């Protein structure tokens, strides 16, 4: 198995998740009134790693980072946009999916992280549809294979040109002995509700399905003759825009560059610090330094500097950076510092302005960032100490962790106020997990009365004993026990099998119901991870390794 | 990785799934009125494979085959039983879980098959509770570790002795770097609804949890002082028996030995044949030779010879045999021969007697056997040809397959009647899949009107064109195309990666909602399969290999 890490191109030493349209190499974003066009035109020479070229609009993580950025910018910088047209800038090919040579030469960890991020990006497109009524129409003029079709599946409406050759396909299994890794199977069965036997035929047919059959089988929404394509696309875009309730005419805000300084032992952002030591990453989130602005106009004026937005973007960046650049990190520890009342003041400000487009986008961004935390395969821990501000939105970080420790009282010689948690309306529905429930509802599956009890304590400063009695934290410890207990726990955690922990946490974090999204991350991803290790895919004679070599793969024929 | 197959003990060349109480080595079944006691008393020397001993009531597949048999016998042979007491016959230990040396020395395929069967057995215990109101009380006097606690989790009520040492635990992760493989994590979060952070503490604490804390954390239902144990168990058993609606006093039927003859190329049963050739297993199911008996008493008189029961037991045995003894088989092809009207006559007979205990048990057995088919990791195909009898219950086999082919008209020189499908009430709810839906409801997720349309055709002989129009089969082909199409499909299927197909089929077969059961088989099993391959568990320095060697495991610390 190719588990030596590849070299990044252009002398990079880390994978950077921040970009902006002026730096895009693979996408063109054009905004025209309420329609944005996202043109995929991948630069063959613009790969993230050395050793492969991005032919036929195939993609790697670098291409997807730009796509994720473009979607965020449409949401924040162009609130008047109601429809995204997703199109290819290349002739006869929409998108060939994830680059096969990239996959064949990647470490197992990179493949898994790559699929996770691309999944989150496609979920982001669907979230734009449900949370912001920003609809995506995908126009397939050519072939949409594998990840190419999976990208289309994230759209609200799929149009396929009826030219006798344009087709959609999921050829991963016949061609590469792996599964579609970006939600394809689940979206085929659960979103498009393709009949299971037809889905079986589709997913085992290399060349895919085209024309009327693609509509009959529910794989696309319509086929359009090439001669009528542009007119029909324009018409559909107008129809979708007319139905959208996204507010027209709002003036966007600029997503300015993040303030991030890498240090020898971590990173400094304007609202948080990341400290790396002993296979632990400590993220200390800082509360706001000032009260919320006096009006919604003043919030728009602050733009990307508005504290909740700044923190969400910085936290998102920090989590992504840890995921792919700090694989050795066993646990992420969340701490905070600041005034809980001020944090709550921002939550109340956003509650009061919930119908404003920017307030809605900020809340939706927090929802996605918190889901990103849930899906991060590191042990997550909250240490709730004197002077912390885990209130409202920030309390969600506590509820996202595998365990939380809260200090009782104060520390000797320390004049910070005792640790306190504070709940707000936002903890009871604003930020559903991928299973569709709030973190507190997931926590209190056994007894809804516990949820009601917590709800009745909104707005109160809850000390360690109160928080523990309400079941909001795992352990409340006094100063005498704190250091030893926390140290022993973290050392023990770091001594366990990292793989075992990934599987354990993926199961314990998401009790209760499942949604299409949770199925993608749990069921499909786990199977894909399994297959991504099997010799039939990644061994010397496996399909992924032999693809394009002219040699046929050799399979162990045992069914497991 | 230890992927050389171990040698079976006692000169066996195949794993046999049939047994009976006279042959049990590990369990004692005692029936006393409406209470059955299942005493686990594993014979250390009675392992299925060479190379390990079954110490401390640890188990291997052989132990579980006896357990599964005992549960079936209680259901059919002792209908008066309302409560099963699950207890240990050893002092100070309830059950130490799956035998670690067995796991450490097993092939990947055996580990996966072993976990699948033990999961099905535990689901069977839960099915006895819901379908037959036959309740299980688990009495833990000693330690219940790993699979031992998972067995307890399948019970309706868990009693733990409060003696300062008896404890429940899931030590798989800290001890072995794997996950509890028999539904433990999902039952902890979804059945017992343990708070996720407490579940995290529990699953990472080798020694487990005992006494009052085990109740507080919802891990057991009650703790009982040792001195009061017997009295309390008797009282609980009486309470559960009094609440059960299982009919008292019914006379059981004897589950007589199966009629199975192994041949060079397969096996012959009284109601079906298995033919093995070219990595294909063809199961031809034969319809009944006579009309159903005239009365329910006559059915009881026929007992295990009653056609639907005989077929269910034989089919179950055939599927299990293929799963573990014919790993090289790429696809299972279902064919049938007989009179569809006669098959339907049996379904109607069971419908008419649905309140009789034996009719209910037979239906519940078919439900479990069909689920076993759904969960079999082989490509499933139905070939519906002239003279076949895929009607009612047997039509479920068609709907369980990944694809079905139906012949239009008759074959030259063949006087069998044209292929026909026939639906009955039983196809619309009697046999839910593990996702909680009937196979037809799963099939027609996109449009419930398709389900209604199929329902309105109950009782009609549907020829290939009608079945195809209704969406009941994948392809309707005439005699000219049949041979080539089917041959090419089967050859192609056998050319694909067996691992890829396992993952693909596991995703496409279960669209729509999830239940605790489907989560166990999809989410948890897939993660476990992944971990069962990771070097941190099964590598030379992995925890599973090094367990008990005195050497600590060495882990790759990268989080994936």
Q: What is the pLDDT of residues B367-404, one digit of tens each?
A: 999 999 999 999 999 999 999 999 999 999 999 999 99
**Min Cα–Cα distance to chain B from A489, Å:** 10
Q: How far is A195 from chain B (nearest CA, A)?
A: 6
**Element at B8 (helix H, strand E):** none
Contact B500 A327 (CB under 8 A): no
CA pair distance B28, B73, nearest whole angstrom? 12
Nearest chain A Cα distance for residue B547, angstroms: 13
Whether the predicted pLDDT of A94 surpasses 80: yes
Contact A173, A544 (CB under 8 A): no
What integer pLDDT is reported at residue B6 of this predicted model?
87
Grouping H, G, I as helix, E, B as strand and the rest as coil, residue A37 is strand
Residues of B in contact with A522 (CB under 8 A): 519, 522-523, 526
The predicted model gives A204-231 an average pLDDT of 98
Q: A167-169 and A209-210: which strand pairing? A: antiparallel
Contact A500 B558 (CB under 8 A): no
What average pLDDT does range B191-217 have in this prediction? 98
| pTM flag (> 0.80) | yes
Does the structure show a pLDDT above 90 at B410? yes
What the block records as the tokens of A477 is 């410890």
**How far, in Å, CA of A137 to CA of B68, rounded?**
53
From the CA of A514, how many Å to the nearest CA of chain B? Answer: 6
pLDDT, tens only, B67-99: 999 999 999 999 999 999 999 999 999 999 999
Across chain B, mean pLDDT equals 96
Helices (H), B405-478: 439-443, 448-455, 464-469
CB nearest A558 (choices: B200, B218, B328): B328
Q: Indicate if the pLDDT at residue A2 is higher than 70.
A: no
Give the whole-angstrom CA distance, residue A187 versus residue A193. 8
Q: Who contacts B297 (Cβ-Cβ below 8 Å, separation ≥6)?
A: none
Residues of B in contact with A558 (CB under 8 A): 109, 327-328, 498
Which pLDDT value is given to residue B2?
44
CB A83 within 8 A of CB A244: yes
If you average pLDDT over residues B108-117, what whole number do you get? 96
Q: Are B281 and B266 in contact (CB under 8 A)?
A: yes
- Helix (H) or strand (E) holding B83, with range, is strand B83-88
Query: What average pLDDT does this structure show over A245-269?
Result: 92
Distance from CA of A261 to the nearest CA of B (A): 25
Contacts of A203 in chain B (CB under 8 A): 504, 508
Tokens of B218: 């919802």
Side-chain half-sphere CA neighbours of B43 within 13 A: 13
Q: Do B506 and A496 touch (CB under 8 A)?
A: no
User: B511: which chain A residues are within 8 Å (Cβ-Cβ)?
Assistant: 189-190, 193, 196
Q: Rounded to the nearest 10 degrees, how much is the dihedral formed by the CA atoms of A71, A72, A76, A78?
A: -20
pLDDT band at B286 (very low <50, low <70, confident <90, very high): very high
Residues of A in contact with B201 (CB under 8 A): 403, 474
Test the B interface: residue of A107, A110, A200, A528 with most B CBs within 10 Å: A200
Neighbours of A395 (CB within 10 A): 29
Predicted pLDDT of residue B52? 96
- Give the per-residue pLDDT at A3: 62
Do the beta carbons of residue B116 and residue B167 sit within 8 Å? no
In which band, very low, low, confident or very high, does the pLDDT at B247 lie, cut at 50, 70 and 90? confident
Sheet arrangement for strand B272-277: B260-263, B266-269, B272-277, B280-286, B331-337, B379-384, B403-407, B475-477
Per-residue pLDDT, averaged over A189-200, amounts to 98
Whether residue B252 is predicted with pLDDT greater than 60 in this model: the reply is: yes
Chain A residue numbers with beta carbons less than 8 Å from the beta carbon of B499 are 177, 530-531, 534, 536-537, 560
Helices then strands (H, E): number in chain B? 23, 20
Asked if A466 and A435 touch (Cβ cutoff 8 Å), the reply is no
Does the structure show a pLDDT above 80 at B248? no
Q: Do B499 and A377 touch (CB under 8 A)?
A: no
| pLDDT tens-digit map of A176-188 | 999 998 999 999 9
Tell me which of A371-375, B453-457, B550-554 is least confident: B550-554
B534/A533 touch (CB, cutoff 8 Å), yes or no: yes
Confidence of residue B3 (pLDDT cuts 50, 70, 90): low
CA–CA distance from B471 to each of B333, B409, B438 (Å)? 20, 18, 15
Closest CA to B98 of B37, B156, B175: B175
| Helix intervals (H) in B133-272 | 147-153, 172-176, 184-186, 196-203, 211-216, 229-243
- Which SS3 state, helix, strand or coil, does residue B255 take? coil
pLDDT digits 0-9 by tens, A338-354: 999 999 999 999 999 99
Q: Residue B482 contacts by C-beta under 8 Å, 6 or more apart in sequence?
A: B405, B407
Cβ-Cβ contacts under 8 Å between A and B: the total is: 290
- At A352, list the tokens: 């009061």
Q: Closest by alpha carbon to B297, among B253, B341, B247?
A: B253
pLDDT at A1 over 80: no
Residue A523: strand, helix, or coil: helix
Using pLDDT thresholds of 50, 70 and 90, give the confidence band for residue B259: very high
Q: Mean per-residue pLDDT for B317-339?
A: 97
Per the CB < 8 Å rule, is A196 touching B513? no
Q: Contact B526/A531, CB-based, under 8 Å?
A: no
**Cα end-to-end span (Å), chain A:** 20
């Amino acid at each position: 198995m190719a588990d030596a890490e590849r070299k990044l191109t252009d002398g990079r030493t880390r994978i950077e998740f921040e970009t902006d349209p002026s730096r895009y190499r693979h996408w063109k974003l054009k905004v025209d009134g309420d329609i944005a066009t996202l043109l995929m035109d991948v630069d063959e020479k613009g790969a993230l790693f050395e050793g492969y070229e991005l032919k036929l609009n195939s993609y790697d993580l670098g291409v997807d980072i730009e796509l994720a950025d473009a979607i965020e910018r449409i949401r924040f910088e162009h609130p008047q946009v109601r429809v995204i047209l997703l199109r290819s800038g290349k002739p006869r090919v929409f998108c060939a999916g994830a680059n096969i040579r990239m996959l064949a030469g990647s470490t197992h960890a990179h493949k898994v992280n790559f699929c996770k991020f691309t999944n989150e990006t496609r979920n982001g497109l669907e979230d734009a549809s449900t949370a912001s009524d920003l609809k995506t129409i995908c126009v397939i003029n050519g072939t949409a294979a594998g990840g190419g079709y999976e990208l289309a599946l994230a759209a609200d409406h799929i149009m396929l040109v009826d030219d006798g050759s344009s087709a959609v396909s999921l050829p991963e299994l016949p061609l590469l002995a792996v599964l579609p890794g970006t939600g394809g199977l689940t979206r085929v069965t659960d979103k498009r509700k393709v009949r299971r036997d037809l889905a079986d035929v589709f997913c085992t047919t290399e060349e895919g399905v085209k024309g009327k059959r693609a509509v009959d089988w529910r794989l696309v929404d319509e086929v359009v003759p090439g001669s009528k394509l542009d007119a029909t696309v324009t018409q559909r875009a107008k129809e979708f825009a007319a139905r959208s309730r996204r507010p027209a005419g709002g003036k966007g805000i600029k997503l300015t560059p993040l303030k991030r300084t890498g240090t020898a032992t971590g990173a400094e952002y304007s609202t948080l610090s990341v400290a790396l030591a002993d296979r632990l990453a400590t993220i200390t989130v800082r509360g706001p330094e000032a009260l919320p602005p006096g009006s919604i106009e003043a919030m728009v004026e602050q733009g990307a500097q508005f504290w909740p937005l700044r923190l969400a973007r910085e936290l998102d960046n920090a989590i992504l950076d840890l995921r792919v650049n700090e694989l050795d990190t066993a646990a992420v520890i969340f701490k905070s510092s600041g005034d809980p009342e001020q944090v709550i003041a921002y939550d109340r400000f956003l509650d009061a302005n919930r119908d404003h487009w920017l307030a809605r986008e900020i809340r939706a961004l927090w929802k996605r960032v918190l889901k990103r935390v849930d899906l991060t395969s590191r042990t997550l821990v909250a240490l709730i100490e004197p002077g912390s501000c885990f209130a409202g939105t920030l309390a969600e970080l506590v509820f996202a962790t595998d365990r939380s420790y809260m200090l009782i009282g104060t520390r000797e010689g320390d004049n910070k106020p005792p640790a306190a948690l504070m709940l707000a309306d936002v903890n009871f529905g604003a930020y559903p997990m991928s299973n569709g429930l709030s973190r507190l509802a997931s926590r209190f599956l056994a007894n809804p009365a516990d949820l009601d009890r917590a709800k009745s304590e909104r707005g109160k400063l809850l000390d360690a004993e109160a928080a523990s009695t309400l079941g909001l934290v795992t352990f409340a410890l006094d100063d005498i026990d704190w250091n030893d207990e926390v140290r022993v726990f973290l050392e023990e955690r770091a001594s366990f099998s990292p793989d075992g922990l990934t599987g354990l946490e993926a199961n314990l974090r998401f009790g209760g119901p499942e949604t299409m999204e949770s199925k993608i991350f749990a069921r499909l991803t786990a199977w894909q991870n399994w297959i991504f290790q099997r010799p039939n895919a990644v061994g010397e004679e496996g399909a992924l390794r032999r693809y394009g070599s002219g040699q046929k793969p050799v399979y162990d024929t045992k069914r497991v």
